[in-house]
Structure 1
Amino acid sequence: MDFARLWLGLLLPLVAALDFNYHHQEAMEAFLKNVANNYSSITYLHSIGKSVKGRNLWVLIVGRFPKEHRIGIPEFKYVANMHGDESVGRELLLHLIEYLITNDGKDPEITNLINSTRIHIMPSMNPDGFEAVKKPDCYYNQGRENYNQYDLNRNFPDAFEVNNVSRQPETEAVMKWLQTETFVLSANLHGGALVASYPFDNGVPETGTLHFRSLTPDDDVFQYLAHTYASRNPNMKKGDQCKNSMKFPNGVTNGYSWYPLLGGMQDYNYIWAQCFEITLELSCCKYPREEKLPFFWNDNKASLIEYIKQVHIGVKGQVFNYNKVPLPNVIVEVQDRSHICPYKTNKFGEYYLLLLPGSYVINVTAVGYDPHLTKVVILEKSQNFSALKKDIILPYRGQLDSGPVSNPSCPMVPLYRNLPSRSAATKPSLFVFLVTVLHIFLK
């Protein structure tokens, strides 16, 4: 009898199946705590701060080493419900958590993903806004802003214009969170349209605004990331499924091409936190009826998984001195792809560069050392759940100033005001040309 009970316990799921309903704060917390208790070997639940009303901003981490960063394991994140009335992403992330934990050890793809990635999931950045929504509504609802009536996606420092607004507790919590982890890739889940939008959301003529877009030095990677998500969503990739909305070729748009936005989170991630982030608009209706939720999960499941896997493209490694001591605060960037806030190694001397297949020259710059150039070739699908590994040893040239790592390290001011023209950012591509023409006709 005891053996029978033991086997029955092994066969039954540790967490009851998550229903397709809207989960308010109490129910969401109960689910997350249940997961953390029953899957403690691969999950870790913590709060990064509190909302205006004192609600916890929960993050569940899924990974083989969930409680701490391990060298060579990239950090990935999903954030949803930044606008409280945009509800689909909140529920999708809860179902994603359930899918990951229940398929570990059963599905090879999910098992490999958990083995090789530390996945941070924040179902709600604006719990006060979500709780303020009175009933489902496809358009504007009073729960969009936080309790202080601030739009959190207009509340971050901006690299192009002064964003002189009162920084909110939820925004401050995310900014501090970004300093504690070496995030490499991220997506921010919204609603009200059906499109994958990539940086920049704001811009200046030097980033291409005269051509109705604003492009980063990594525009090829961002377009690839957006297409990766949209192409696996059967409705998003059509680009025309929302009434009274701009049409998006292949379900993808540059943020500025769609509409300029001051103080957005995805631009902040890319510029000040060294993290590539795109914005995913997942539903034409901001707060659809609950019975629609299974359809959204079916449409987005493959995209959500495939997008996480993209944290493993490009090249990664550590920078050492001649004694094989890891060097923090070393600038590591691809030649002709420098960032206005230089991308630097973390406290372990690690760097992660998201790149598409091709040949690149990496420029390493450290105090006390001559600039060091190294060539890398990234092959098509050469790595499985791992970027190309390339450690770099700098020759002896004196002492590196190894002060404390600070990330973000650039001042929180409009950095692009006096930017010299960058050909890589302003050179039109065929994709951008088509978007520009479409934009002109739809203005």
Structure 2
Amino acid sequence: MSLLGIVLFLPLAAGLNFTYHHTNEVEGFLKMMRRNYPSITHLYSIGKSVRGRDLWVLAVGRFPTQHKIGIPEFKYVANMHGDETIGREMLLHLIDLLVTHDQQDPNITRLIDNTRIHIMPSMNPDGFEAVKGFACEPEVGRNNANKVDLNRNFPDAFSKNNITIQPETQAIMNWIKNEIFVLSANLHGGSVVASYPFDNGNAATIVDDYISKTIDDDIFVHLAKTYSKNHATMHNGTPCENGNYFQDGITNGNEWYNLKGGMQDFNYIWGQCFEITLELSCCKYPPENELSAFWMDNKVALVEYIKQVHLGIKGRVINMRGEPLPGVIVETTDRRHICPYRTRQNGEYYLLLLPGEYTLNVTVPERITQLYTITIPNGVENFSAMKYDIVVSATPVRTTLPSCPTEPLYSRDYLPSVSTILKPTVHSLLLINILCACLKNSC
């Protein structure tokens, strides 16, 4: 067992109680963490629920109050369905673990040194407060106060889902727009499995056995297996009585069941953030005396998953004068995303990639496309993705950049060829930008 594993299995001298914490208690705990650990925590709300409850987030990192160039942003979100309660408590205990082991455990310390970790214990506090008593299938509480399933409430790239965006959903969408999230997971209950995109798809993405593959399927399988294999039982694949069998404890979302308007697809397509869904309990709202066992099952996996934010490559795109260039497409030649992955305001880019050799394609407005062949090591081991800054030539070339999709992609291919990227067809120019309409921000 690694040093991390040994330390994580040691009991805390005086930790958080293994009880369910209601909204006021969660808020009190988060404020106490901010007060007791001011140098590594930052507490903020991204918005309010239908009933006016704050959607609290605690950021943990060496620079918790703001983004620092080269430090990737990670997030966990739980309790999206208010009656699925285990993730909510697991994230409170994760916060407790991180802040109390900083400067005590070298792995936790390095993680905090090199990552900004955002933790939202409850996306749906109204739903949680509506549940009355423990139950494996609560009669109320899944939806928000407007009786809307929040995991069917995001814009969908493949289907018209005719949704009215809820306050909780809009808050998440704005959050994704305003931060540079690289990796994420949302925590659910009702099974024990790690599910990965796509949850929906079309003829171009859905292959045998209803698997709807992204172009980053190898990375998503790795991410899901990382959590599953570090979980006490998930990797066994047979979590629940009379439930599904999941090979290695993972599943493609659409293969399990089709879902329109899901949060993980939205993160990946429009947020440039890889997200998977973690189902942590067969029973959605199990009794309190089982919480300590759930924590023992999940705590190593929760930490190991965060470390995967350091896969791949990161850097900045700058001009010959050293000025950052936002809006530059940076992708590998074999991974053209539905919404092209672009540099942010400070010229930063992050690409999650498994170790190997890749050709990096860098396309700047009114500049020539530049290709770079790179060999990427395993950055997880060093808590840092490979750093690769790019200086763009000043030679102007008339180049039209592709935009994000405009309408549901229904039967369209979502993986354009290199020639389509560089010389858009009439078809690609007709695509509008759902993200722009939803987030009121140009891609």
Partner residue in 2 for 1:396: 394
Q: TM-score, normalised by structure 2?
A: 0.88
* Runs of 5+ consecutive residues of structure 2 not aligned to the other structure: 1-12, 418-443
Deviation at 1:43, TM superposition (A): 0.3
The change in CA–CA distance for 1:420 and 1:85 in structure 2 (over 3 A counts) is closer
Deviation at 1:383, TM superposition (A): 5.2
- SS class of match (2:361): strand
Deviation at 1:241, TM superposition (A): 2.1
Partner residue in 1 for 2:431: none
In structure 2, how many angstroms separate the alpha carbons of the residues matched to 1:294 and 1:235? 15
Deviation at 1:380, TM superposition (A): 4.2
Of 75, 78, 91, the residue aligned with 1:77 is 75
> Would the aligned equivalents of 2:315 and 2:388 in 1 still touch at CA under 8 Å?
yes
Alignment of 1:44-443 (within 5 A): 44-209=42-207, 211-380=209-378, 384-398=382-396, 410=404, 413-415=407-409, 417-419=411-413
The change in CA–CA distance for 1:327 and 1:416 in structure 2 (over 3 A counts) is farther
- SS class of match (1:46): strand
- SS class of match (2:309): helix
The change in CA–CA distance for 1:40 and 1:306 in structure 2 (over 3 A counts) is same
In structure 2, how many angstroms separate the alpha carbons of the residues matched to 1:57 and 1:259? 29
Of 207-216 and 386-395, the range deviating more from structure 2: 207-216
| Deviation string, structure 1 residues 307-343 (Cα, Å, up to 9, x no partner) | 0000001000000111111100000001110101000
In structure 2, how many angstroms separate the alpha carbons of the residues matched to 1:311 and 1:381? 9
Partner residue in 1 for 2:421: none
Aligned length: 403
Letter in 1 for 2:286: P
- SS class of match (1:206): coil
- SS class of match (2:204): helix
In structure 1, how many angstroms separate the alpha carbons of the residues matched to 2:62 and 2:49? 30
> Would the aligned equivalents of 2:330 and 2:341 in 1 still touch at CA under 8 Å?
yes
CA RMSD, Structure 1 to Structure 2 (Å): 1.9
Partner residue in 1 for 2:423: none
- SS class of match (2:382): coil
In structure 1, how many angstroms separate the alpha carbons of the residues matched to 2:139 and 2:273? 30
Letter in 1 for 2:65: K
In structure 2, how many angstroms separate the alpha carbons of the residues matched to 1:120 and 1:107? 20
In structure 1, how many angstroms separate the alpha carbons of the residues matched to 2:297 and 2:406? 38
Partner residue in 2 for 1:432: none
Letter in 1 for 2:368: D
| Deviation string, structure 1 residues 281-323 (Cα, Å, up to 9, x no partner) | 0001100000000001000000000000000010000001111
Deviation at 1:74, TM superposition (A): 0.1
> Would the aligned equivalents of 2:84 and 2:285 in 1 still touch at CA under 8 Å?
yes
In structure 1, how many angstroms separate the alpha carbons of the residues matched to 2:83 and 2:292? 19
Deviation at 1:415, TM superposition (A): 3.6
| Deviation string, structure 1 residues 387-436 (Cα, Å, up to 9, x no partner) | 001001011124999xxxxxxx736631454226779xxxxxxxxxxxxx
In structure 2, how many angstroms separate the alpha carbons of the residues matched to 1:175 and 1:270? 12
| Deviation string, structure 1 residues 12-68 (Cα, Å, up to 9, x no partner) | xxx962100000001110000000111111000000000000000000000000000
* Runs of 5+ consecutive residues of structure 1 not aligned to the other structure: 1-14, 402-408, 424-443
Of 233-242 and 66-75, the range deviating more from structure 2: 233-242
Partner residue in 2 for 1:18: 16
